[in-house]
A and B are shown apart, each in its own frame.
Chain A
Amino acid sequence: MTLKVKNLVGGYSQIPVLKGIDFSVDNGELVGLIGLNGAGKSTTINHIIGLLHAMKGSIEIDGITIDEDAQAYKSKIAYIPETPILYDELTLKEHIELTILAYNLDKDEAWKKANELLEIFRLQNKLDWFPANFSKGMKQKVMIVCAFITKAKLFIIDEPFLGLDPLATDDLLKLIDDVKKEGSAVLMSTHVLGTAQEYCDRFVMINHGELKASGTLEELRAQFNKQDASLSEIYLSLTKGEKANE
């Protein structure tokens, strides 16, 4: 088991946004974290990457928590945020150099991988560019390149399909598939339920900070008694049902 989230209670202030969330992501597995705006997806991710501290419960990656060994814990994570976050003062090349430094990667090996990725995302001629010269989609691609050279055990990808062109989306999905085959785990939060249904192995559905359901599409169909329903239909029925109960 790569990622284990146990009874996670947490949030930004005293009042918890997450009210006891349990799920796990196995080696070689792509899990979709599904939820509406404000459901608690980003809060969950912020807890996993260590930006927020759990009020209750625990998060383990490969059996260690952030409190036990922060450096070892963090070295296992690669994160691609929803909105690209780049250093205004660093060129594309320097973003890669910095990632190599930060994750203590083998320089030659990492650059070999980086060059492959740069070519896939058509960035190989833009090594000397600053983030200010990039479009949103290009910035997102820089984030993807930097994340996928890290050899992380757990990839956390927040809303990856916003701002990416169809070609880049396809390339990203292939990359995800590759790291899965290499034994890494991937947790992907998304609204794009059609793509999620097609590519994710399992789903974790949260709403109002609570875990509503989890499992494969087949398991979810059985759980909600909806044969042949799509992921979108299942999630909508779940949230609409909740709305009616409110």
Chain B
Amino acid sequence: MNNLWKKRLNLYLKRMIKYYRYVFNDHFVIALLFLLGGISYTYSNFIKSLNVDLSYPWAKPVVIIVLLVMLQFGKVGTLIDEPDKVFLLPQEKGMREYLMRAQKRAWVSNSVIQIVVWIVLLPFIYYGVHLNLVESIILLLSQVALKVAQVNLFFIRAFEAKYQAGKYSLIFNYVVPLIVYMLGLYASIYFALGITVGLILYLKSLPKNKIIQWNYLIDVEKLRLMRKYSFFNLFTDVPQVKKKAKRRKYLDWLIPKFKNVYGYLFIRAIIRNGEYSGLYIRLTVIEFIVLLFIPKFWLSLVIGMLFIYLIGFQMLPLYKYFDDNVFVHLYPLETNSKGKEFKSILLALLIINALISVIAVYIAIQNILLSGAFLALVLVESILFVYGYANLRLEKS
């Protein structure tokens, strides 16, 4: 079973590396650098504006919210697959060993996330909340202990159905952490450490002799992988992600009366398949927020243009979305109608994005002339992107 875990982990990591390579493609890395640059710049300015001698009553709640949200990041990967419940059924004992391996890995990988969060928060904890280094380290230890407790709860659930109830998630993910943070930051940080150590000891004392809850393990792992794959699916085709359409009747008003087959299809794919609408909305919202914090015209323009390119680029696979449906090849259509319709929809999407982002630019730089220039340049880029770059790409395909 030890070998099985190693083999699966190897395979899994290889697959993840393969997909991350698609995620961190050139375009995305550039966008990410800009985004991180913008955020770090804003954050560092914000830290500089803090004064160690002043007290900020809002600082502790902010730290509590950030820690609580970040505590929810990171899941336990068991790499258990559906057929396991048949093929590995006689391996009850071996599976314990297998799961122990999975648990150890989860401890490490989840702690790393919390340590990174803590490092990022450290300046704010020092300047805003006024904890010294020892206290900050104790806060980190408590946060890691809370995460370890979450991981341990998962493995208790793997053997004991009664702990799978939602109330335990609520207690371990939100209620106990909130108590820990409140006591730790408002009373004494040593309370935080005390409670979390107590929590882990309590979990250790729970009976753990029942049989493996196969269905639970399979469902949780499936959900975890599906979330990962849906994310990767934003960047590349992931065969495991099945297209799932949602009716979204409330968005029907957005659907214009199309006289063309492809227009009819594309607009519905965008609205009802979360893949494209989700991507578009996410990128537009991120862009809007980033632009709100940038008071410099040139930087806003670079970011605005970058996002037009990013959105346009990520929308290109929609062109081939219906290609595996035999009927689109059977319809008696003009040969160029697909490209024509796709380009006009893409342009409309980019124009809407430009109109939304110019609002953020205007709020940030408060200059109507420069905002107008921003809009004009971004619109020109949109047209060039659709009828130049996209046109070339589509012709190639």
Residues of A within 8 A of B (CB): 49-51, 70-75, 77, 79, 81, 85, 87-91, 94, 97-98, 101-104, 128, 130, 132
Let me know if A101 and B326 touch, CB within 8 A.
no
Q: Which of B128-136, B331-339, B375-383 contacts A (4 or more CB under 8 A)?
A: B331-339
Q: When A85-B326, A89-B273, A132-B245 are in contact, do A102 and B268 touch as well, CB less than 8 Å?
A: no
Residues on B with C-beta less than 8 A from A103 are 331-332
Let me know if A74 and B273 touch, CB within 8 A.
no
Q: Which of B198-206, B258-266, B351-359 contacts A (4 or more CB under 8 A)?
A: B258-266
Residue of B whose beta carbon sits closest to that of A146:
B327
Residue of A whose beta carbon sits closest to that of B267:
A89
Let me know if A101 and B260 touch, CB within 8 A.
yes
Residue of A whose beta carbon sits closest to that of B335:
A70
Chain B positions 312 through 354: 1 when the CB is less than 8 Å from some CB of chain A, otherwise 0: 0000000000100111011111110000000000000000000
Let me know if B261 and A101 touch, CB within 8 A.
yes
Taking the closest CB of chain B, its distance from the CB of A17, in whole angstroms, is 18
Taking the closest CB of chain B, its distance from the CB of A159, in whole angstroms, is 15
Q: Does B147 contact A (CB under 8 A)?
A: no
Let me know if B244 and A88 touch, CB within 8 A.
yes
Residues of B within 8 A of A (CB): 243-245, 247, 258-261, 264-265, 268-269, 271-273, 322, 325-327, 329-335
Taking the closest CB of chain B, its distance from the CB of A71, in whole angstroms, is 5
Q: When A51-B326, A81-B326, A101-B260 are in contact, do A87 and B265 touch as well, CB less than 8 Å?
A: yes
Let me know if A50 and B243 touch, CB within 8 A.
no
Let me know if B245 and A88 touch, CB within 8 A.
yes
Cβ contact of A87, chosen from B244, B325, B334, B335, cutoff 8 A:
B325
Residue of A whose beta carbon sits closest to that of B324:
A85
Measured between alpha carbons, how far is A88 from B273 in the docked complex, in Å?
9
Let me know if B333 and A87 touch, CB within 8 A.
no
Residue of B whose beta carbon sits closest to that of A103:
B332
The 4 closest A-B pairs by CB, nearest first: A75-B332, A102-B331, A74-B332, A89-B245
Residues on B with C-beta less than 8 A from A50 are 329-330
Task: Tell me which of A79, A87, A132 has the highest count of chain B C-beta atoms within 10 A of its own C-beta.
Answer: A87
Residues on A with C-beta less than 8 A from B331 are 74, 102-103
Taking the closest CB of chain B, its distance from the CB of A74, in whole angstroms, is 4
Measured between alpha carbons, how far is A90 from B259 in the docked complex, in Å?
16
Let me know if A89 and B259 touch, CB within 8 A.
no
Residue of B whose beta carbon sits closest to that of A71:
B332
Residues on B with C-beta less than 8 A from A88 are 243-245, 273
- A sample of 23 inter-chain contacts (CB < 8 A) reads A49-B326, A50-B329, A51-B326, A70-B332, A73-B332, A74-B332, A75-B332, A79-B327, A79-B330, A85-B325, A85-B326, A88-B245, A88-B273, A89-B265, A89-B271, A94-B268, A97-B264, A98-B265, A101-B260, A101-B261, A102-B261, A128-B247, A132-B245
Residue of B whose beta carbon sits closest to that of A83:
B326
Cβ contact of A98, chosen from B243, B264, B269, B335, cutoff 8 A:
B264
Q: When A101-B261, A132-B245 are in contact, do A90 and B268 touch as well, CB less than 8 Å?
A: yes
Let me know if B264 and A72 touch, CB within 8 A.
no
Cβ contact of B322, chosen from A51, A75, A87, cutoff 8 A:
A87
Taking the closest CB of chain B, its distance from the CB of A64, in whole angstroms, is 12
Measured between alpha carbons, how far is A224 from B344 in the docked complex, in Å?
61
Measured between alpha carbons, how far is A102 from B325 in the docked complex, in Å?
14
Measured between alpha carbons, how far is A91 from B249 in the docked complex, in Å?
11
Cβ contact of B272, chosen from A49, A70, A89, cutoff 8 A:
A89
Residues on A with C-beta less than 8 A from B329 are 50-51
Measured between alpha carbons, how far is A74 from B272 in the docked complex, in Å?
29
Measured between alpha carbons, how far is A90 from B247 in the docked complex, in Å?
8
Measured between alpha carbons, how far is A87 from B327 in the docked complex, in Å?
9
Measured between alpha carbons, how far is A51 from B330 in the docked complex, in Å?
8
Residues on B with C-beta less than 8 A from A51 are 326, 329-330
Q: When A97-B264, A101-B261 are in contact, do A77 and B330 touch as well, CB less than 8 Å?
A: yes
Residues on A with C-beta less than 8 A from B272 are 89
Q: When A50-B329, A89-B272 are in contact, do A101 and B245 touch as well, CB less than 8 Å?
A: no
Residues on A with C-beta less than 8 A from B273 are 88-89
Residues on B with C-beta less than 8 A from A98 are 261, 264-265
Taking the closest CB of chain B, its distance from the CB of A68, in whole angstroms, is 13
Measured between alpha carbons, how far is A183 from B261 in the docked complex, in Å?
28
Residues on A with C-beta less than 8 A from B322 are 87
Measured between alpha carbons, how far is A210 from B259 in the docked complex, in Å?
43
Q: A74-B330, A89-B271 are in contact. List 16 more A-B contacts (CB 8 A).
A: A50-B329, A70-B332, A74-B332, A75-B332, A79-B327, A85-B326, A88-B273, A89-B243, A90-B265, A94-B268, A98-B265, A101-B258, A101-B259, A101-B261, A101-B264, A102-B327
Measured between alpha carbons, how far is A101 from B337 in the docked complex, in Å?
13
Measured between alpha carbons, how far is A75 from B329 in the docked complex, in Å?
11
Let me know if B332 and A130 touch, CB within 8 A.
no
Residues on A with C-beta less than 8 A from B335 are 70
Measured between alpha carbons, how far is A85 from B326 in the docked complex, in Å?
8
Measured between alpha carbons, how far is A51 from B329 in the docked complex, in Å?
7
Measured between alpha carbons, how far is A73 from B335 in the docked complex, in Å?
13
Residues on A with C-beta less than 8 A from B268 are 87, 89-90, 94
Residue of B whose beta carbon sits closest to that of A78:
B330
Measured between alpha carbons, how far is A94 from B255 in the docked complex, in Å?
12
Measured between alpha carbons, how far is A85 from B322 in the docked complex, in Å?
11
Measured between alpha carbons, how far is A5 from B259 in the docked complex, in Å?
34
Measured between alpha carbons, how far is A98 from B260 in the docked complex, in Å?
9
Q: When A87-B325, A90-B268 are in contact, do A102 and B332 touch as well, CB less than 8 Å?
A: yes
Q: When A85-B326, A98-B261 are in contact, do A91 and B332 touch as well, CB less than 8 Å?
A: no
Q: When A71-B333, A89-B273 are in contact, do A130 and B265 touch as well, CB less than 8 Å?
A: no
